[in-house]
Structures are given as structure tokens and as C-alpha cells.
Homo-oligomer: A and B are copies of this chain.
Amino acid sequence: MAAERVNIIHLLASPHGLTCRIPLAEKKIGYELEEVHKFRSSMATLEEVKESCKSLPVLIHNGKEIYEFRTVVEYIDEAWKSRSAFLPLDPYKRAQARYWFDFIDKEVNLILVINRQLVAISLFSAPSLVAWLWGLACDTEAAKKELVSTLKELEVELGDKPYFGGESLGLVDIVLLPHYAWFHTYERCADFCIQAHCPKLIGWAKQCLRKASASQCLPDPDEVYENAMKLKERVDEITPVVAIAKFFSRLASRCDSEHMLGDIFFGRLVGAEAWVSESPA
């Protein structure tokens, strides 16, 4: 059999990209890595950044391209079936793992959406925290509460198991672990300590990192922070976007409801009725 060629292209420190690399490492599949540093280049146009974010990460296996990170992870599990499996055999347990995979992608996925859309919009969780990161007025305390509450839900799901996958690394571990590399950035930006709220989750992350497959893929948290700050600078250069963001910021302050900023800015208008009734007259 000819030697296999496996390539992976992803954006530097993107949780989605890391989610694809951990299972390759865990199955001991050698691969060539191309990290895209689009945000570092001042030459990259917005359109280029947007386009490359949309299609990344991509796995190329013997010339065949596989897109969409969840699809890539399941492909890795199925194409190298004989090596450690990430999904259990029982259909209901598989469904549970897939549900939590989706939950993490939607609820914990902060910076990634920023990576994909530059100024993140359709965030599902902690929009105010991200707004804060971009220097907008917002309720950081509410944002922290939101993030901690999501992480606590995950702690309940973890229970007393060593991994979400049970005795070995599973689909849910693979998707959550890359976000751990971003915890330091959130903590530093919003001045709080996730471990104080979710000690079991941090214990789980540290245990995962004792595995070479995880530790060799995850970037240094300080490097993640520095890159987030560079990305922020890059965004700050895009004057019209910032102008619009600042307009929302002013709108929010006039409405005397800081929540409104995050919600309008991040496109969650459903609670408008509640904001209006909650706001002082």
C-alpha cells in the first residue's frame, strides 16, 4: 500500500482547527500542517480573510478534501476505524456525544466566530464578553456569568468520569479541549478565574493535557492571548465596522441597558420586550 498523505490547513489557534488535529494525533496518524496566519498579514484584504475563514479547517487525505470541522472529525474516526474510536458503538450514546459536540460548538464558541467573521455576530454565548474584548461598553459581569453557567452544565455532563468519552478521549473531549487554550485570554480580558468556578473542568483539561496527543496540538495560552490582541488591532483598523460598533455602543448607553449592546450587536433581538420593560423610564 502506498504511503498515505494527510494534510491539514487551519487558522492559527482556531479551536475548529485544533479539534481536527487532536484526533489525528490520538490515532497516531502523521500529517503535514499548514497554519494560516492571515490576520498577521496587513496585506490580507477583508474578503480574503473572510473566504479563508469560511473554508477552514480542511483535511486533505490522499488528495481528497474534507471540509467542515465536525465532518472532518467523524471522517478521521471512520477512515482509521481500527485505531482508538471516539464514538461509542451504542446509537443512543453516539447521539449523546454528538449532542454535546454541537452544544459546545454553539455555546462555548466565542472567539472562533470572530475568526470566521472578523467581528463576531452570531455568537450564542457571552456576547458581552466578546464586546468587552473589542473595547465596547458592556456588562462584563453578565458575560462572565453566562460563560461560567455554560461551563457548569458541561461539568455536570462530565460527572465523575475521567473523560467525557468515559475511560478514554471521546468526541466531546476533542471539541472542548481546544477552547481550554482560550480560557487564559478570557480570564485576562475580563479579570476572573474560571478554575474558581469550575474546578472539575480545569482538572479534566489538565488530565487531558498529560496525553501527548493533546499537549502537542494545543498552543501556548500566552501565544493565544497575544494573537487575540493582534486580531483586535487588525479589527480596530477597519474603521466602518468600528464606527458601527460604537454607534451600537452609544445606542445601548442611551437605552440605559448595557445588555442591549451585546444583544443588538450580536443579533439577538428576541428579548427586546424584556429590555424595554426592565429599563428605567
Nearest CB in chain B: distance from A74 CB, A? 7
Cβ-neighbour of A68 out of B98, B118, B274 (below 8 A): B98
CB closest residue in chain B, given A67: B99
SS class of chain A's interface: helix, strand, loop or mixed?
Answer: helix
A266 at the interface (CB under 8 A from B): yes
Which partner residue on chain B sits nearest A118 by CB separation?
A: B270
In the bound complex, residues from chain B placing their C-beta under 8 Å from that of A281 are none
Which residue of chain B has its CB nearest to the CB of A102?
Answer: B68
* A6, chain B: closest CB distance, angstroms: 13
Q: Is the CB of B118 within 8 A of A94?
A: no
Contact partner of A99 (CB less than 8 A), chosen from B71, B78, B118, B267, is: B71
Q: How far is the CA of A270 from the CA of B119 in the complex (A)?
A: 7
Interface size class of A (residues with CB under 8 A): 35 or more
Q: Which of A16-24, A173-181, A191-199, A236-244 contacts B (4 or more CB under 8 A)?
A: A236-244
The answer to whether A266 and B264 touch across the interface, beta carbons within 8 angstroms, is no
Checking B46, B270, B275 against A271 with a beta-carbon cut-off of 8 angstroms, the contacting residue is B46
Q: Name the distance in Å between A135's Cβ and chain B's nearest Cβ.
A: 15
Q: Most chain-B Cβ atoms within 10 A of its Cβ — which of A241, A272, A273, A274?
A: A272
CB of A268 within 8 Å of the partner chain: yes
Say yes or no for A64: interface residue by CB 8 A criterion: yes
If A102-B68, A264-B244 touch, whether A270 touches B79 (CB-CB below 8 Å) is no
